[in-house]
Structure 1
């Protein structure tokens, strides 16, 4: 089984169609919606983790593109101004997947990209406003 995180952008006319349903039904993919912004009549965005056979993931992505859905590899980065960070831990308290943690022994902030779901909770929790997540 392979995993791939993708950022999907749906044109307004596609937002009300069950496109992600077809990824499950027709391509046997497990879809985990990590983040969504969908409003009727407006462009929609989903951050999705697809799990399945590599060839099925590729076929599913081709299907999405055939439906005029823009597919981009999900950014795996979080912007943190380390010089201004005071390692207070406020961001770690709200990080459910534990992508942000204070390192034992040094109490320095550590970011694990593989655990991050780009929810943005850390951005709101940071008292210095030095964390940014692109979506």
Structure 2
């Protein structure tokens, strides 16, 4: 199973097409949309994790490129600054993958980076600003999605 974090940039001519549905139906891929800004008759932007076997994944990417969607792969990563973290647990409430969870009975916040999808929800939630984005595209994407 291949899984990659992608940024999809949709030209305004295709934003009304069922593109993600076609990826699932025609290419047997699964997805997790992390962020999206898509409006009628305007260019769109989507950050997603796309998963499937290698052959289907490559066919799905070809489909996207053939219809004019610009596909960018992003090297994701979130890390925790343990010196800043004061174990409040706020991040665990928003983590969709369970990468951040509370270990009992110690009540310690554990971060399993290999389970992290880099959705950045923890970054926005952390009052101590201990969660840090580790890829350059994050700044660009935040500006575009703001």
Q: Shorter chain as normaliser: what TM range?
A: 0.7 to 0.9
In structure 2, distance between residues paired with 1:79 and 1:114: 11
2:81, 2:132 within 8 Å by CA — same for their partners in 1? no
Deviating 4+ runs (over 4 angstroms): 102-106
Q: What secondary structure, in the 3-state scheme, does the structure 2 residue paired with 1:58 have?
A: helix
After superposition, the Cα gap between the structure-2 partners of 1:2 and 1:130, relative to the gap in structure 1 and judged at 3 Å, is: closer
Q: CA RMSD in A?
A: 2.8
Q: Residues 29-77 of structure 1, C-alpha deviation per residue, up to 9 Å, x if partnerless? A: 2334343222223332223333333111101101111222121224321
TM-score (norm 1): 0.74
TM-score (norm 2): 0.69
Instruction: Judging by fraction of residues, say which structure has more helix.
Output: 2
Residue aligning to 2:37: 37
Residue aligning to 1:61: 61
Aligned residues: 134
Residue aligning to 2:8: 8
Q: CA deviation at 1:79?
A: 5.0
Structure 1 residue runs of 5 or longer lacking an equivalent are none
Structure 2 residue runs of 5 or longer lacking an equivalent are 142-146
Q: CA deviation at 1:130?
A: 4.2
Residue aligning to 1:50: 50
